Structure 1
Amino acid sequence: MISTALRLPHVFISQAHLVSYGGSEMVTLELAEYFAAAGSRVTIGTWTVGPPMMPHLRKHENISYFDLEGEELSERLAADPPQLAWIHHQLVPKYLLQYPAKTTFVFNHMSAVHPLELSWSAGIEATLASLHLYNSPETLEGHRSRALAGGFRNENMQVFPNPAPDDFGDVKVRIPGRPLRLGIVSNHPPDELAELCDGQPPELELEIIGNSPRTGSNAVRITPQKLERLDGVITIGKTVQYAILAGLPVYCYDKFGGPGWLSSENFTSCERRNFSGRGFAQKTSTQIALELFNGFASAAAYAADLRRSDVSRFTLSRALEKVVLAVHRGGGSSRPLGEQIEAHALQQKVVGHYARNWLRLQREATES
């Protein structure tokens, strides 16, 4: 938890949408919950909020959310300027563009591929940001190599390694059963994992956790309590950090392929790629089944050793304390944005138009 001396009275977070347990949405939710628990007032600006995220936000009296382009948000920010604006997807409310001086800006990027994660308004970011954060070295290097970080100061570009809430470190690892109970955590399982579920080997009990028409499964929030009921997970991305803190073995595999069980031989390479599975070959369902059972014991031993080592970089409190210290050293931007304000606001409206329509089509497809 952030120390009392470093506590921020008001934190603003922007996010394109909050309607699923997706990667960036979970980052936003966990940030909001963390700052709220530390005593901050948290304001979220977004284009849409809905189930399953809305109930989590409504549990906290000091978390509120507003339409990103609505007057209510402008009034809220004018009455109570935030000390920190944590920006996702380049989305900056017009009020903060016009009056940035009282606010320190942090821009967080969670991909070097997804269009919403790119610096599509790099001039605004270069002017406002005290910190530019990237979820892995691969993402940071991807932004640099594609000239997405032009004008950014190197010393302000840092890795924020998709950290997990600290309470995942309190998970009590269960004694593995027979069959092994493994969770497949994915909203996009590839065919080889779906085939594995269709014909589950007798030595494995597979639980699919994620919203997937292919497997007919539904998404649920991954919690420490959920992990305590599993012997290990098959997943990529943010759930890997949950499992690392929990001491659970991770079979790193999904739509990009993957190395299989995390081990001392592949961990550094996987971490550099945000545990995405990129950089490794795809496997057949038969290969995966054999590796899951035959490699479990050594993977479990490695997970236990890893948990006993220094994995504090994956804890949300440690990662955020570094950011908040930078905020206290920094301060708002006094550089005038001039014509950039209207240009950015127009770009943001265009992005918002397509994002809202995409969300509508997704909702209609689900309901039909």
Structure 2
Amino acid sequence: MGAEPYAESAARPAFQQQDQDEWEVADIADLKQQLNEAVFLGRFMGAISATLDPGDICAIASRWLYDYVPYLRIVFALSPKLLSQPLIYSPGVGKDKSIDPTLPASEDQWVAEYFKGLASLSMICSADGEIRCRRHALQLPEELGSLIIYFDEGSSASFSASFLTNLRENFSHALKNALEHSKLKELAMRDGLTGLFNRRAFDEMLDIEARRGELMPVSLLMIDLDDFKQINDTYGHQAGDQVLARFGKILRDNCRGSDLVARYGGEEFAVMLPTTTSSIAFMIAKRLRTKLSETTFVFNDRLVRLTASIGIAYAADAAKPSSDLVRRADQALYRAKKSGKNRTCVYAAKSVELVKKPAPTKLRYAQLQPEFQVRE
């Protein structure tokens, strides 16, 4: 009988079998890596999505990435909408101090501007100023910023291209959620007509600062627009809205950046003045009243001017709750309204000092004498 016609050809050469085995091993290794990356990224996304604070998102991301593949340093240079300054982490030694509050236009510019700072933080650099380490630079979408991961030049640790793509998407998604939450929170804290903080936000922030005590002494202005109801009744609510919006702008333009300004309700406004004595608060109140009285409104072809009454309360320390400060400022405002309006009333520790409309003389605040005192 003849030999099997295909027996010889069916036998594969040994070197071909070895190549096939190596390919299969490589395929299995790739599949394992892809599986490990998918599992990690799923857990990573869950971890960074557990918070809506951008700084916390960066801190969590730095720890998870370091546990997965140890790196030398990670830098989060995010948009000012998310972080006021870059964050730098070296998990092996802890968190480093941020270098510079500005964000460059490009990653190359970033490297140039931050090189000296990075060198001072023990980055591996050569004498000629070149950075001697590998890095993965991820430019985040929608101007969210950038994420840069540095590895020791001698280290074999790295991330695959597909991993970095998925990492970029997951990290960006978490930051977008944080940004949207921040926008919604900001909207919930603002008065829609004036753009100032609303009463709820003001009370919460005033309470926080009062308990911290870091901004003491603090003064509080409670402001009420005189005869505002007549504007609404005579010219309509649109005219009233125009007055409120204009006075809100007066407050924004004439208060300091550190001051907390709010529409407290209706035609009433509140201004917290940190590290401000009652004498300085009085001068600020005077300026606000002057600016308002100089503002002209035109309703139904008629020129209209308004005035305001202001109550001032002062706290030298955090011994009493913020509600007590609000109560005293309200009492001072009430006294100013009952005493003829268009004036400022200062609530002292043991009395309420009424200050009438200032005469055109350069009197110092300490020389102004109260017309009456109300004992507690």
Q: Name the TM-score, length of structure 2 as normaliser.
A: 0.21
Mark the structure with the bigger radius of gyration: 2
Larger RCO: 1 or 2 (CA < 8 Å, sep 6+): 1
Return the TM-score normalized by structure 1: 0.21
